[in-house]
């Protein structure tokens, strides 16, 4: 796995336990062991963010010369950072929004959708979702 950190989660519907997942050494069920990579949570968060109205796309976590790089659908996880504090995820999402859309509303919607999707698809507890608006895209035209 060459330097990639794999996160394993315990508790949740697969183990018959109540509540969300917390970081542990893994979860073993009668069917086997479940390990969720942090990139899985990042990909889910990226997909959820791009489905929100007003989001033009994901931006790279690195800005070059003050210009945000708009990522394609195959690189959505590159615009998301997932860290953990006390077994709960802190997700940072870097987005580009469309011109003329109320940025605070877009950010609010992205926060809620990312939290909902990551928690429901992985069982992971999400403590916070941080939104970094890296740019505003103006649609082409005269």
| pLDDT beyond 80 at 17 | no
Kindly indicate the confidence band of residue 28, based on its pLDDT and cuts at 50, 70 and 90: low
Name the residue ranges covered by the structural domains of the chain. Answer: 38-137
| 55: CB partners within 8 A, 6+ apart | 49, 95, 96, 97, 98, 106, 110
Encoding tokens for residue 84?
């953990």
Sign of the dihedral defined by the CA atoms of residues 93, 88, 125, 24, in that order: positive
pTM of the full predicted structure? 0.74
Residue with tokens 């940025």: 103
Residue with tokens 């698809």: 121
- What is the rounded distance in angstroms from the CA atom of residue 51 to the CA atom of residue 73? 11
pLDDT of residue 108: 97
- For the residues 2-13, what does the mean pLDDT come to? 43
Encoding tokens for residue 128?
């916070």
- What is the rounded distance in angstroms from the CA atom of residue 39 to the CA atom of residue 116? 17
Query: For the segment 29-41, what is each residue's pLDDT rounded down to a tens digit?
Result: 789 877 778 889 9
- For the residues 132-139, what does the mean pLDDT come to? 88
Query: For the segment 77-101, what is each residue's pLDDT rounded down to a tens digit?
Result: 788 999 888 878 899 999 999 999 9
pLDDT of residue 26: 52
Low-confidence winner among 31-35, 48-52, 107-111, 112-116 (lowest mean pLDDT):
31-35
Q: Does 86 or 23 have the greater pLDDT score?
A: 86
Q: Per the CATH hierarchy, to which homologous superfamily does domain 38-137 belong? A: Cation efflux protein, cytoplasmic domain (3.30.70.1350)
Residue with tokens 């103006």: 138
pLDDT of residue 3: 44
Strands 32-34 and 126-137: what pairing? Answer: unpaired
């Amino acid at each position: 796995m060459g330097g990639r950190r794999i996160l394993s989660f315990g508790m949740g519907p697969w183990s018959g336990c109540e509540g969300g997942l917390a970081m542990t050494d893994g979860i073993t069920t009668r069917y086997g062991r479940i390990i969720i990579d942090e990139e899985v949570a990042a990909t889910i968060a990226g997909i959820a963010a791009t489905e929100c109205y007003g989001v033009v796309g994901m931006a790279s976590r690195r800005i070059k010369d003050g210009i945000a790089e708009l990522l394609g659908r195959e690189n959505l996880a590159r615009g998301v950072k997932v860290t953990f504090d006390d077994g709960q995820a802190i997700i940072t999402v870097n987005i580009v929004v469309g011109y003329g859309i109320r940025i605070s509303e877009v950010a609010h919607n992205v926060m809620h959708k990312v939290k909902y999707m990551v928690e429901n698809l992985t069982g992971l507890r999400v403590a916070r979702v941080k939104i970094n608006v890296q740019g505003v895209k103006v649609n082409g035209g005269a």
